Structure 1
Amino acid sequence: MEYRFQIASDVIRDGLGVELVDPIGKVLAEVFRCDADHSLTVSLFIDELPFSLIEKLVLMARTELGVFEDGSPLPKPA
């Protein structure tokens, strides 16, 4: 199965996300940067995603989401 990644802005939730999408366009997982409360969250919308895809999504989000809207840096990795 071929997956793709896309960046999506969400005005209602006040932030930006990197999404993992399947071949028919269904969003399977997301890393979301909330500019309102300076948080990063990971949401999985299906069970049993391969770890390698989740890992790639998280690593891509670190790069693609950059900084919060006010210029504050993302939280440092643990």
Structure 2
Amino acid sequence: MSNKTVDARGLEPPQPFERAMEAIADLAPGSSFTLLIDRMPHPLLRMLDRDGYRHEANFRDDGAIEILIGRP
């Protein structure tokens, strides 16, 4: 299964959050997607923790943050 990428770099709030929420709504159990974003999305990460989603953030050399988000 391919991992979808949602590129939210350069967007003004709340667009990155909205794009992430749309991708989360489409996630099948056991699947994941990658979110590319300019800054750490703390409200999104709190929501993911609350709702039981997996997430792992990595800082890329180009300054972007790459977050792998998975549904259990």
TM-score (norm 2): 0.31
Normalising by structure 1, report the TM-score: 0.30
Higher relative contact order, chain-length normalized (CA < 8 Å, sep 6+) = 2
| Larger relative strand fraction | 1
**Structure whose residues are more often helix by fraction:** 2
Q: Which has the larger radius of gyration?
A: 1
